[in-house]
Structure 1
């Protein structure tokens, strides 16, 4: 497939997302105008050929609970801001210290969501094996009151994405047994060799045996939203700050609507700290050896009772008042007003118990490794790690005057760094092998990606995330000591942390 995107390494013209995502601009434009426009995909709302404006979309009965929830969450954010930062004004427009997301764009006839990418997530089949995981259609909010193809056109994109999540294999296919997960995976992998673009590629992908043939409205699982809720430029009293709000809405066929849901593995820090009994139950559950192993492998499914319905990810990372990274306060650290949920002794004891039971851990080999996994296991912490702002997939901008991903890539370093793992899982499915669903930390790909990603920003190349090892190996953290840099680069950190980035060695 002809896709303009980052290369895996010097001299290699194969895009990293080959066979696992659709990012060809002109094919996405064709798919948006035909098969996968939101007017065709929202269950029960088939609205001919007319694209849905944002005003039309949120007026649909299916979408009204979603809009109501977004409004309530923004109101709650404003109230919390005024309580914690009373001297910082907040509102819509550049005259405010914190410029708030303008909800008027969701009621406008001059904005709509356009398809900006299709992503295979069969790596999530451990959650739902029968349906072979997920496929996601990602839509970006844009302004439509300007020409799409004008030579001097400015990108009309607005800072909000809507992620429509589908079963990779619908219930009807599960009952019939064909195509199998192996066949679906093979269809996706075969797209890497398709040398087509635009309408021809779109037709190939949606054909009877195409990788997107099974993406139908009746297979919708949920909608995930992500929007830039507020932005504050640098001022005399603080550095710049941008907050991104994420929510999830499950589709309920019986009511025909999207209803607010808890977010997978998004630990509800505030409730745990306010309820000692709930905190104790969570600690006992997570440190049980089997759950600890799943937590380490990145395949844990934390029970709903411990989870939140919203995540707000600030950039840059580190705003204590945001209360967003779950480890803030769950272990002794920035939040000293509450008793920590986990002590170092708790973690050390759990690691020792797991080892005694023969549990093999891949990532968590220290207290710091446990804390980092607490941070990046949920949506908020992961989106704060190696993202483009608060997004991992800002999407393809095919409405630009000259659509191209050669200079403006559709995904974050985290997204591209995870493609080798995702494609490895697709290959295992296609070959009839048991897939390895494990994943490393959000900051650094697993060793299975070391060959393809070696020397790149995604792994150990310039800008890669690394750990400063000291000559005395006893002082080096076993969870991160393998995070080294390629030849000619050194791991350079600032402040008190030993986490850094790979840059040209000055020695």
Structure 2
């Protein structure tokens, strides 16, 4: 058991209660897969148990969370992060000025494009508060030895003093995700037996009973560190004569280097560097050949593909809202035939031929058409996924335990995509717990993979009001083969949203 989880048990005992892993209406859907109980998160944060500073500096004597002016200056592991974010924001501002030369951009409401205030990353009045803990053992296919990941998600908040001496807190649009490996292979339980993936999964499914995993020996906690992911709402642009309302999000990843003991700027998993690929003939040819190879295309279909780093970007700007059909705002746009380029990376014939070869090795699960390939090419990226059924550009904005009376918008800690995926994630945990090899596959980001469960039937997460669905083709009157199961619940019908041609939304029939 990691040092963090040992501390977690200690705080539960200290507060004299059994932890609940869920809250409110997300209780059933997130059971065993996420910790979203506001009271638990508050205690873990305010008592400096699972703060960023405690996890990265466990021997620190003080027992209070560090504000941002101290966090990035006192913790050498984080020293590269502010500078890397600054550089990305500078690039973003330069690009915006080139694209929209008549619009002003800066911090504050007086600008046409209102920019994220990066001073919040250096302020003594701001800090990152624990907003949720998420089990991602469904990602064990990346590294089976580590059994997947545990993610501690923090939300940036500003604290201001009130006349009576108390403080008021305002959540700011940035999340900081500390990703830990779910286990260390050298980890042992109380009797010296190596801890298995099955044991880790059982403890999560048993509502957080960590005690059986805690051993008497100490193992090197540093080996659990994997990476940090940041997500910043970098700008808001109200609707104008030049464009519709837009909100852009900046995604960055910093991998932990055990040699230098720092988190270093890294590529984003599967974030295709579209512009670089399109501009480089050799890279474009290599990417096409690699992705269309039958073994890679089959993993692409399953959603478990790991695209080589040479094709990936080190940052992603995610424009929202992006709509349901392919557009220039989506990360894959320009790679497929019919997307404005005379020399696309993938022609329809390329895709059809490759799908036929891949299907000869066994039936494909999701991609059965060019449209399915195009959709997967988009939603396999970080940016494309965050554009799909998110809350703005967030999938987990987090639990708002800071507010005494949170609004409806902050009661819900996660997006429809996140909530809908819990059935699949819990099924994988159950397989681990039973000693079976899990099925790590996933469907498209627009529709959850239900795995035979009826838990989501009739809800917005699957086929209820507002769910994504498949429109009939205007000519044939049939649905695209990749989306034939995307129907609506009884009483609802799939209707076009905006200019969408293939994907609609479920609404009442009289609409």
TM alignment of 1:196-211, pairs within 5 A:
207=211, 209=213
Q: Distance in 1 between matches of 2:79 and 2:410?
A: 37
Q: Distance in 1 between matches of 2:410 and 2:396?
A: 15
> Which of residues 410, 414, 418 in structure 2 aligns to 1:415?
418
Per-residue deviation, residues 193-231 of structure 1 (Å, max 9, x unmatched): x7xxxxxxxxx65x5647xx9995541111000000110
Residue 51 (structure 2) pairs with residue 46 (structure 1): no
Residue 384 (structure 2) pairs with residue 381 (structure 1): yes
For residue 407 of structure 1, report the CA deviation from its aligned partner.
Answer: 6.8
Contact conserved, 1:150 with 1:401, CA < 8 A, in 2? Answer: no
Over 3 Å counting, the alpha-carbon distance change for 1:238 and 1:28 in structure 2 is: same
Moved more, 276-285 or 441-450: 441-450
Q: TM-score, normalised by structure 2?
A: 0.88
Q: Distance in 2 between matches of 1:367 and 1:215?
A: 48
Over 3 Å counting, the alpha-carbon distance change for 1:438 and 1:177 in structure 2 is: farther
Corresponding position of 1:482:
485
Per-residue deviation, residues 285-313 of structure 1 (Å, max 9, x unmatched): 00001100000000001111111111111
Contact conserved, 2:463 with 2:488, CA < 8 A, in 1? Answer: yes
For residue 42 of structure 1, report the CA deviation from its aligned partner.
Answer: 1.7
Contact conserved, 1:266 with 1:308, CA < 8 A, in 2? Answer: yes
Contact conserved, 1:366 with 1:479, CA < 8 A, in 2? Answer: yes
> Which of residues 83, 108, 126 in structure 1 aligns to 2:141?
126
> Which of residues 189, 203, 210 in structure 1 aligns to 2:205?
189
Residue 220 (structure 2) pairs with residue 236 (structure 1): no
Per-residue deviation, residues 134-169 of structure 1 (Å, max 9, x unmatched): 00000000012247x999x87510000000000100
Q: Secondary structure at the match of 2:390?
A: coil
Moved more, 87-96 or 279-288: 87-96
Residue 77 (structure 2) pairs with residue 73 (structure 1): no
> Which of residues 492, 495, 501 in structure 2 aligns to 1:497?
501
TM alignment of 1:463-482, pairs within 5 A:
463-469=466-472, 475-482=478-485
Q: Secondary structure at the match of 2:276?
A: helix
TM alignment of 1:368-407, pairs within 5 A:
368-402=371-405
For residue 256 of structure 1, report the CA deviation from its aligned partner.
Answer: 1.4
What value does the CA root-mean-square deviation take over the aligned residues?
Answer: 2.8
For residue 172 of structure 1, report the CA deviation from its aligned partner.
Answer: 2.5
Q: Distance in 2 between matches of 1:330 and 1:70?
A: 28
Over 3 Å counting, the alpha-carbon distance change for 1:295 and 1:345 in structure 2 is: same
Over 3 Å counting, the alpha-carbon distance change for 1:376 and 1:110 in structure 2 is: same
Contact conserved, 2:424 with 2:450, CA < 8 A, in 1? Answer: no
Over 3 Å counting, the alpha-carbon distance change for 1:146 and 1:439 in structure 2 is: farther
Q: Distance in 1 between matches of 2:408 and 2:114?
A: 29
For residue 64 of structure 1, report the CA deviation from its aligned partner.
Answer: 1.6
Over 3 Å counting, the alpha-carbon distance change for 1:378 and 1:177 in structure 2 is: farther
Q: Distance in 1 between matches of 2:493 and 2:78?
A: 50
Corresponding position of 2:356:
352
Q: Distance in 1 between matches of 2:108 and 2:248?
A: 16
Q: How many residues align?
A: 484
Corresponding position of 2:432:
429
Q: Secondary structure at the match of 2:414?
A: coil
Q: Distance in 2 between matches of 1:218 and 1:288?
A: 34
Residue 184 (structure 2) pairs with residue 170 (structure 1): yes
Corresponding position of 1:179:
195
Q: Distance in 1 between matches of 2:149 and 2:113?
A: 36
Over 3 Å counting, the alpha-carbon distance change for 1:150 and 1:393 in structure 2 is: farther
Q: Secondary structure at the match of 2:260?
A: coil
Q: Distance in 2 between matches of 1:208 and 1:51?
A: 29
Q: Secondary structure at the match of 1:112?
A: strand
> Which of residues 86, 91, 96 in structure 1 aligns to 2:111?
96
Over 3 Å counting, the alpha-carbon distance change for 1:392 and 1:16 in structure 2 is: same
Corresponding position of 1:10:
none
Per-residue deviation, residues 259-305 of structure 1 (Å, max 9, x unmatched): 00011111110110110110100100000011000000000011111
Corresponding position of 1:3:
22
Corresponding position of 2:41:
28
Corresponding position of 1:11:
none
Q: TM-score, normalised by structure 1?
A: 0.89
Could you say which structure has the greater relative contact order, defined with CA pairs below 8 angstroms and 6 or more residues apart?
A: 1
Per-residue deviation, residues 373-400 of structure 1 (Å, max 9, x unmatched): 0000010000000000000000001110
Moved more, 117-126 or 489-498: 489-498
Q: Which runs of 5+ in 2 are unaligned?
A: 1-19
Contact conserved, 2:48 with 2:64, CA < 8 A, in 1? Answer: no
Contact conserved, 2:492 with 2:506, CA < 8 A, in 1? Answer: yes
Over 3 Å counting, the alpha-carbon distance change for 1:174 and 1:344 in structure 2 is: farther
